[in-house]
Amino acid sequence: MNEVQILALVKARLGITTAVRDEYLAAIISGVIDELEKEKGIVLNANNAHHLMFVVDYATWRYQSRDSDGAMPRHLQYRLRNLIISAGGGATSDL
């Protein structure tokens, strides 16, 4: 996945116009991609808009909820389950 493109989309979604938080956001994005691929078994396709926007939305939620104990929003849970199913399975008990 193109992490530079994802970073630009996350910043646009958050309304961030400076580079002050780029390093932190890039670390979140990298962590989200790593989690999806290695822990959830999802093969992300850089040309798939659904995959791209899920990573953007998931990274944005991670950034916004960094100091919160709240659960993942239902729309993200639903989309994650769909990605896991379309990837051929995987554990969904941790959702």
The string of pLDDT tens digits covering residues 54-94 is 999 999 999 999 888 889 999 999 999 999 998 765 544 44
Q: How far apart are CA 3 and CA 6, in angstroms?
A: 5
Q: How many CB atoms lie within 10 A of CB 54?
A: 20
Question: Tens of pLDDT along 22-49?
Answer: 999 999 999 999 999 999 999 999 999 9
CB proximity list for 90: less than 8 A, separation 6 or greater: 40, 41, 42, 84
Q: How far apart are CA 88 and CA 93, in angstroms?
A: 15
The residue among 14 and 66 whose pLDDT is bigger is 14
At residue 82, the 3 state secondary structure works out as helix
Give pTM, 2 decimals: 0.87
What was the pLDDT predicted at 89? 54
